[in-house]
Structures are given as C-alpha cells and as structure tokens.
C-alpha cells in the first residue's frame, strides 16, 4: 500500500512538473537551430535537443542570402511565427529580413527578399515524403515532410527564436 501511494505521488508530481512543457503530448521548444551544411533542423528546450529533422534548403544553398530571387536560405538570428494561410501543408514564417539583412541590402543596392519559412510539402507533392530531402528544391525556405511540420508546428510557439548557421 505504501509503495503504491509513493508510486502514485511520483507520477502525479512528474505530470505536474512537466505539464507546462507539453501540449498534445509534445514538449515545447524554446529555440530552433538549423545547420545548413549538415541539412538538419533541431528543436531545443533549455539547451537540450528535443528533436532533429533532416531538411531540404533553397536551390542555391551555399552562403548567406543576399537578395530576393537568389534561392539561398538566410543565415542569422530570426524569430518564428505560425502561418495559418500557408500554400504548403503548414508553415512557420521566419522573420527574414532582420535589421542586419536590410542594412546590407541597402548598402549593396539590392532588395533583400522575404517570405522565408519552414514548411511541409504542397498537397500534390506529399507522396514524396522523405525523398524530397535528396534535392535542395525550395526558393530559400527550409522544407520538411508534412508529418514533421505537424510536429514542429505543435512544438514551436509564436516568437520562438531560430538561428540559421552555415
């Protein structure tokens, strides 16, 4: 009886302790890191890696995004926001361009571009699933499978920081 009471107490306390980190059974990420050269996206909480996803990037993935239409995925620190009106399965808008990006584009006299997101696949391409990652195909976005963007969408709140590294 005492052992059962202790076990129930431990379970209840554990649930209470972690309930603020969970929605629909998934932990909440407080940071997202993308490493372009490794083609990975990581969700973190308090520095611990929660999930790692393989990704596809822009058609011209090497280097920092310089201007609209260069098909590069940006590099730097940004913020994520849920996009309920996505052309893709789901998407999270990346706050590109930031002040540094805008200043650089003014200096070199080109438009910085925008509309950069983490997204799933369009419905007509959903059957490609994980095979989409064998080719960098986006216009500068970060692409994952539809199942993965559903999970990421649940784990990331508006305002979550993202760091995109070379």
pLDDT reading at 122 higher than 80: no
d(CA 151, CA 107) in angstroms, rounded, equals: 39
pLDDT reading at 58 higher than 90: yes
pLDDT one-digit tens code per residue, 15-26: 434 433 444 578
User: What's the whole-number average pLDDT of the chain?
Assistant: 85
Would you kindly state where each structural domain of the chain is located, as residue ranges? 25-165
**Given CA atoms 126, 67, 38, 33 in this order, what sign does their dihedral have?**
negative
pLDDT reading at 75 higher than 90: yes
Of the listed ranges 19-33, 47-61, 96-110, the one predicted with least confidence: 19-33
**Per the confidence metrics, is the pTM higher than 0.85?**
no
- Rounded to an integer, the average pLDDT of 101-107 is 93
What dotted CATH number matches 25-165? 2.40.440.10
């Amino acid at each position: 009886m005492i052992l059962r009471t202790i076990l129930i107490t431990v379970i209840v306390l554990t649930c209470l302790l972690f309930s603020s980190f969970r929605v629909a059974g998934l932990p909440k990420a407080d940071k997202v890191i993308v490493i372009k050269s490794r083609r990975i996206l990581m969700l973190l909480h308090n520095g611990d890696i929660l999930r790692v996803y393989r990704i596809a990037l822009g058609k011209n993935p090497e280097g920092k995004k310089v201007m609209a239409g260069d098909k590069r995925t940006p590099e730097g620190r940004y913020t994520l926001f849920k996009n309920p009106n996505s052309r893709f399965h789901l998407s999270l808008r990346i706050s590109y361009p930031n002040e540094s990006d805008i200043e650089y584009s003014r200096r070199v006299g080109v438009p910085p571009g925008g509309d950069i997101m983490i997204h799933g696949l369009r419905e007509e391409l959903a059957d490609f699933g994980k095979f989409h990652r064998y080719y960098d195909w986006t216009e500068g976005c970060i692409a994952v499978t539809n199942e993965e963007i559903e999970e990421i969408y649940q784990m990331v709140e508006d305002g979550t920081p993202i760091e995109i590294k070379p």
